Amino acid sequence: MTRWAGLALIAAALAALPAQAQPVPFPQRATAYPDRPAIAVGVAWYPEQWPEARWDTDLKMMRETGFNTVRIGEFAWSRMEPSEGKFDFAWMDRAIAAAQKHGFMVVIGTPTAAPPAWLTQKYPDTLRIDENGVRAGHGGRRHFSFASKRYRDFSRRIAAEMAKRYGKHPAVVGWQIDNEVGPPSWDPESIAAWHAFLKQRYGTIDELNRRWTTQYWSQFYNDFDQVPLRQTGQQNPGLLLDFRHFTTATWTDFVQTQVKAIRPLIDSKAFITTNTMFWNAGFDHFVMHRDLDIASWDNYIPDGRPDWVANGANHDLVRGYKQRNFWLMETQPGRVDWVPVNKALDPGQVREMAWQAVAHGADAVLYWQWRPAANGQETYHGAILGQDGKPNPIQPEIARVSTDLTTAAPLLADTAPVADVAMLYSYDSRWAIDMQRHHRDFDPIKAFIDFYRPIRVQSQGVHVVSPEADLSRYRLVVAPNLMVMTQKEATALETYVRGGGHLVLGPRSGMRDDANALYPVTQPGPLADLLGANVAQYYALDEGVSVTGEIAGKVSIWAEELVPTAANVRTIARYGDKGGWLDGKPAIVTRKVGAGSITYVGAWLDAATMSKLAESLLAQANIAPLIPGAHPDFEIAERAGGGKRVLIAINHGKEAHALALPPGAKPAGGDWANGEVAAHGVAWFTLPGGAK
């Protein structure tokens, strides 16, 4: 009892994973300051790494690059609190004042990703322990335990000290909590918090045993504190999914500890965010963002070869965390330094990718970083200045991004990406599939992108949202692999279909509940009655199989045999004859439900087949692209709001392409000449009918 009582605070916060916040209505922008630029362009600046005598030169050069924003502070804890409880903010006062003098907006990062040596030395209990029991040492970053109460106290204190000092500073427009939170810990406090979490989630150990089905390999537990904390290895899938729920709750609580400390001390218009990573699965980002003001993320193209459609999907997901515009908090000025071959983006691609972010809802583009520190782990990373303090060859291209975005800002202000299609992204499903793929190649992100690609290209606008989001404004909703489907989600999806919506479910959908247990009815489980069909069996494929019918082509990796159980279910694809279990069996079925429909796609379709399917789904939902037949190198997007409609066309190709403009479109900027957009060029236009 005492033990549980001791953990009460954490446990209460970890308790449940409460429902998704209501979407914020459009239009909106990611800064709430009406007198500030609607689009931020800027850079991560680490004044603590440089002599003060250089600051003014750097800030001037940043202005010459067209920047209006700097992000500072994250990682500078040992400079702000050089010894326990002794704060030194004088240098930061001067750095912020200098930035203000040069007209910058400032985003402050709390430094808790990099605890000072005095802290880790005196309080080794705050250090992270990995799954193999190895305690982290000093010199890297993120080496703290996310559950350590002591670390929370130190974090809260430094964050509050900063907020007291800069919370009302006129230059400061936003706050970033920590930096890329993620790795969990296996220290004793984390283990105790895990047990408290499970107790809170299940109430009794009997209930946990029931939901996890522990009468299996003697997994039965007599008490919560017998339950191992594991992320990997031979464990019950219920335990492994709850591990993710636990890390979500713990990281959310870690971030909220700082949010709560600074919120009362800062200007009410300043945003609070935390910067997240590429397809990061360390926690459920929808839950993390519930009590943050905006989403922000760090978009890197590690191999320097953008798969722009796939990258756009991640932007859409980030936009979906809050269903509102976001900040691109970090992106590369050319190259990174953390993959085997750190190839730089080609000339023009940095600008192209900046515009892609904006097209998908970014209201800020910040580069990482201004100038490489003379030493430290990242001396080889792309930067705007070189080690000699002079502009790198990428600088003029980035200056062009600044000019573009500053010029376009009044037009883009209060606009947000338009889409009639929503794709559902579920962390539970992703985790659950990943831990039991059944086919090595069933990568849930790849599966998601394979659906997304033709739908995005053909519709020219997709929102990615949580299965708990309000779907009523979308004409088409696609859930590529909603394997973990709660009863509540199923009910919402059914309501959507009965209200006239078109729902498409991909393979493995509706197979398991939120304890990762199999439903007693096969896919799509709670939606089987609505579909009027279910899956008789699933098969991992080691070679391709053809499908015939309205949607003919090839499938691979995964195939489910569907069995219609209602009269008006139409089979639109069947497996071809190969002398196997699947011969002639339904692969895709669809059913009209009032003005709406539900379709189940039982197999992993190849690109051409998926493209045909996308075409027919979009036609059925009556969704037409803005520019039909645009060259495949083009990324087309619309941002609308505030009485405006803006069309953005990005040519990701190496050649100029003609673009047929929609009626009434008027050029507003960029590389539009003679009916063409230049190679790696960008052009933006206004569209009539701003009420949309």
Would you tell me which residues interact with ligand GAL (CB under 6 A)? 179-180, 298, 300, 330, 336, 368, 378, 381
Helices (H), 291-440: 308-322, 349-359, 395-412, 427-435
Q: From CA 358, how far away is CA 121, in angstroms rounded?
A: 44
Q: From CA 386, how far away is CA 374, in angstroms rounded?
A: 10
For the CA atoms of the chain, what is the radius of gyration?
26
**Shortest distance (Å) from residue 44 CB to ligand GAL:** 7
CB atoms within 10 A of CB 673: 12
Q: From CA 413, how far away is CA 58, in angstroms rounded?
A: 28
In the 3-class helix/strand/coil scheme, how is 504-561 assigned residue by residue? EECCCCCCECCCCCECCCCCCHHHHHHHCEEEEEEEECCCCEEEECCCCEEEEEEEEE
CA distances from 596 to 37, 130, 479 (A): 43, 49, 16
- Residue that is written with structure tokens 């709390």 in the block: 110
**Those residues with Cβ within 8 angstroms of residue 206's Cβ, 6 or more apart along the chain or in another chain:** none
**Shortest distance (Å) from residue 619 CB to ligand GAL:** 41
Q: From CA 128, how far away is CA 299, in angstroms rounded?
A: 26
Active site residue 330: yes
- Between 184 and 237, name the residue whose CB sits nearer to ligand GAL: 184
**Shortest distance (Å) from residue 286 CB to ligand GAL:** 21
- Between 398 and 408, name the residue whose CB sits nearer to ligand GAL: 398
**Shortest distance (Å) from residue 274 CB to ligand GAL:** 11
- Between 324 and 381, name the residue whose CB sits nearer to ligand GAL: 381
Which listed residue (74, 180, 397, 638) is catalytic?
180
Tokens found for residue 522: 């096969």
Orientation of helix 205-212 relative to helix 237-262, angle to 10°? 120
Tokens found for residue 574: 């069947």
Q: From CA 54, how far away is CA 195, in angstroms rounded?
A: 52
Of 252, 132, 124, 245, residue with least CA distance to 194:
245
Of 314, 285, 282, residue with least CA distance to 301:
314
DSSP 8-state secondary structure symbol assigned to residue 484: B
Q: Is there a contact between 580 and 571 (Cβ–Cβ < 8 Å)? A: no
Tokens found for residue 310: 């796939």
Q: Is there a contact between 625 and 458 (Cβ–Cβ < 8 Å)? A: yes
**Shortest distance (Å) from residue 261 CB to ligand GAL:** 22
Torsions phi, psi for 259 (to 5 deg): -55, -45
Of 319, 347, 323, 320, residue with least CA distance to 333:
347
- Between 314 and 534, name the residue whose CB sits nearer to ligand GAL: 314
Q: How much of the chain is in helix, strand and coil states, percent to nearest 5?
A: 35, 20, 45
**Shortest distance (Å) from residue 278 CB to ligand GAL:** 9
Mapped onto helix, strand or coil, the DSSP state of residue 676 is strand
Q: Sheet harboring 666-670: ordered strands across?
A: 416-417, 634-641, 644-651, 682-686, 666-670
Q: From CA 385, how far away is CA 613, in angstroms rounded?
A: 48
- Between 298 and 404, name the residue whose CB sits nearer to ligand GAL: 298
Q: Is there a contact between 644 and 666 (Cβ–Cβ < 8 Å)? A: no
**Shortest distance (Å) from residue 305 CB to ligand GAL:** 16
**Shortest distance (Å) from residue 27 CB to ligand GAL:** 29
Active site residue 131: no
- Between 382 and 576, name the residue whose CB sits nearer to ligand GAL: 382
**Shortest distance (Å) from residue 400 CB to ligand GAL:** 22
Q: From CA 172, how far away is CA 168, in angstroms rounded?
A: 7
- Between 178 and 494, name the residue whose CB sits nearer to ligand GAL: 178
- Between 140 and 594, name the residue whose CB sits nearer to ligand GAL: 140
**Shortest distance (Å) from residue 381 CB to ligand GAL:** 5
**Shortest distance (Å) from residue 521 CB to ligand GAL:** 43
Q: Is there a contact between 404 and 351 (Cβ–Cβ < 8 Å)? A: yes
Q: From CA 169, how far away is CA 240, in angstroms rounded?
A: 45
- Between 195 and 381, name the residue whose CB sits nearer to ligand GAL: 381
Of 500, 521, 497, 498, residue with least CA distance to 509:
521
Tokens found for residue 288: 């993390």
- Between 27 and 182, name the residue whose CB sits nearer to ligand GAL: 182
Tokens found for residue 193: 């918090």
Helices (H), 102-204: 117-122, 149-166, 188-202
Strand partners, 291: none
- Between 314 and 590, name the residue whose CB sits nearer to ligand GAL: 314
- Between 300 and 496, name the residue whose CB sits nearer to ligand GAL: 300
**Those residues with Cβ within 8 angstroms of residue 539's Cβ, 6 or more apart along the chain or in another chain:** 558, 559, 560, 561, 581, 582
Which listed residue (74, 81, 189, 330) is catalytic?
330
Q: Is there a contact between 530 and 415 (Cβ–Cβ < 8 Å)? A: no
**Shortest distance (Å) from residue 111 CB to ligand GAL:** 12
Which residues are known catalytic residues?
180, 330
